[in-house]
Amino acid sequence: MDFGLTSGQREIRDQAARFADEEVAPQAAELDQEDRVPFETLETLSGMGFMGLCVPEEYGGAGSDFVSYALMLEEVSRADAGLGATLAVHTSAGTLPILTYGTEDQKTRWVPPLARGEKIGCFALTEPETGSDASAIQTRAERVDGGYRLSGHKQWITNGRIAGTMTVFARVEDKGVDKGVTAFVTSMDAEGVSFGKHAKKLGVISATTDDVILDNVFVPEEDRLGEEGKGLSVALGTLDPGRIGVAAQALGISEVAFRYATDYSTRRETFGKPIAEHQAVAFKLADMQTRTRAARLLTYEAAWMRDRGERVTEAGARAKLYASETANEVTHEALQVLGGRGYMKDESPVERHYRDARVTEIYEGTSEIQRLVISRGILREHAESLQLQDGAVVG
């Protein structure tokens, strides 16, 4: 589906697709079984410029746009959704917050190593007792001479053990007064940073997910990201483009499951003809393709809006909601088309895609949170339209 894409965007997509088919897909099942991060693949992606694809050249990136980033992420995720998750968190959550909210000094110091892939980024917000309600985090940042001392427990941090740079959130305390949630950037080799439990997950297994422990970690004043007490704005602002990345990841999962089901159904015969010619299967394929294409349009629209500097809170939520639910439906139907072969690990990759799809409805905000975001946007737009109508009547 090339309409609306520039020649440069198509070139990036095609390059990513070739790399995914030739280098990523052949090792995906092995990585899934061994719970292993593909470090050599990440190094190759760095050399291709994909680790900082949408980062400006002045900060060490490739200088491409967000649409190109979404295209790349979709193709990589089609081969290995775990690698897609690693890339998405590194870029959307690990690098872009510093570009968006950082000072010029912070951008110059922290972003180039991330954009070049010399360091991996992670985003430490979730805690054992805090998920969707980010305002309830318990990690503390005590004000001290020259900066802050952070202590707390962060849970399920994607890229945790392989990251070199962390965007982390804590409640600032200054002489016993709670100043509110605040964002910081710190190195993962800072004294007091350690790792807790390594998560054993249902899917996206080649993306490492770990608990991060902060024990009196010193963060200098100049590495606070934004103002004190404004950390929730940083977190929520980071989730907007992050959700577009999850939508792209879900698209890749949907596309590969649809392709596999189509190919299998044209080769597998029952009652003297390919099962794709039986209406029960043919209609499944029709629904799978239609939903995947619709999700792709929502995802590309949200990425395009971000490139134009438009608000993408609701657009990202729509893309993430629809694409993630589509990935779960399409992989479900693909497994149904394959029957027993789809259920077996050594018979097809569909069972892996089925497992990988599930988390796309959970991280970067559950489907329920996306519906909340979208509905609030609808009500806000309605209220604004009423104000405009009232103004026109008064005028």
Q: Is the model more confident about 101 or about 389?
A: 101
Instruction: Judge whether residue 395 has pLDDT over 60.
Output: no
Choose the final residue of a domain: 82, 97, 120. 120
**Based on the domain organization, do 241 and 375 belong to the same domain?**
yes
Look at residue 1 in the predicted model and tell me its pLDDT: 58
- Chain segment 158-188, per-residue pLDDT in tens: 999 999 999 999 999 887 778 899 999 999 9
Structure-block tokens of residue 386:
């009423």
More confident residue, 91 or 174: 91
Closest CA to 151 of 132, 137, 164, 133: 137
The rounded radius of gyration (Å) of the Cα atoms in the chain is: 22
Average of pLDDT values for 346-352?
94
- What is residue 392's predicted lDDT score, i.e. its pLDDT? 61
Same structural domain for residues 205 and 243? no
What range does the domain containing 141 cover? 122-232
Q: What is the mean pLDDT of residues 71-92?
A: 97
Count CB neighbours of 309 within 10 A: 7
Per the structure, how many domains does the chain have? 3
Helix, strand or coil, per DSSP, at residue 317: helix
The answer on 140 and 79 residing in a single domain is no
Do 146 and 218 belong to one domain? yes
Average pLDDT of span 265-275: 95
Q: What CA–CA distance (Å, rounded) separates 257 from 254? A: 5
User: Do 178 and 108 share a structural domain?
Assistant: no
The torsion angle over the Cα atoms of residues 93, 54, 321 and 79, rounded to 10 degrees, is -100
Residues 159 and 257 in one domain: no
d(CA 60, CA 266): 47
Overall pTM surpassing 0.85 (yes/no): yes
Cβ proximity of 316 and 302 under 8 Å: yes
Q: Looking at 351, 364, 368, 381, which residue is catalytic?
A: 364
Q: Which two tokens stand for residue 253?
A: 């999962």
351 catalytic? Reply is: no
Cα distances (angstroms) measured from residue 332 to each of 297, 299, 346? 22, 21, 18
Give me the residue label for tokens 């052949």.
26
Contact 254, 332 (CB under 8 A): no
Are both 206 and 323 inside the same structural domain? no
What percent of the chain is predicted at pLDDT more than 90?
91
Does residue 394 surpass a pLDDT of 60? no
Distance CA 353, CA 337 (A): 14
Please indicate, yes or no, whether residues 366 and 246 belong to a single structural domain of this protein.
Answer: yes
CA gap 367, 63 in Å, rounded:
32
- Output the 3-class SS for 158-180: ECHHHCCEEEEEEEEEECCEEEE
Structure tokens at 168: 């982390």
Phi-psi region of 388 (alpha: psi -120 to 50; beta: other; left: phi over 0): alpha
CA–CA gap between residue 102 and residue 91 (Å, rounded): 15
| 177 falls within a domain | yes
Domain-located, residue 386:
no
* Model confidence band, residue 391 (pLDDT cutoffs 50, 70, 90): low
Query: What number is the average pLDDT over the span 278-299?
Result: 98
- Residue 172: CATH number of its domain: 2.40.110.10
Spatial CB neighbours of 310, under 8 Å, sequence gap ≥ 6: none
CA nearest 98: which of 85, 84, 109, 87?
A: 109
Tell me what percent of the chain is helix, strand and coil, each rounded to the nearest 5: 60, 15, 25
**What is the per-residue pLDDT for 386?**
83
Please write the tens of the pLDDT for every residue from 216-266: 999 999 999 999 999 999 999 999 999 999 999 999 999 999 999 999 999
**Residues 260 and 342 placed together within one structural domain of the fold:** yes
The CATH number covering residue 18 comes to 1.10.540.10
User: Nearest CA to 74 among 309, 308, 326, 282?
Assistant: 326
246 and 197 in a single domain? The answer is no
Q: Are residues 257 and 363 in the same domain?
A: yes
CA distance 246 to 2: 21
Same domain, 265 and 360: yes
Asked if 357 contacts 311 with a C-beta cutoff of 8 angstroms, the reply is no
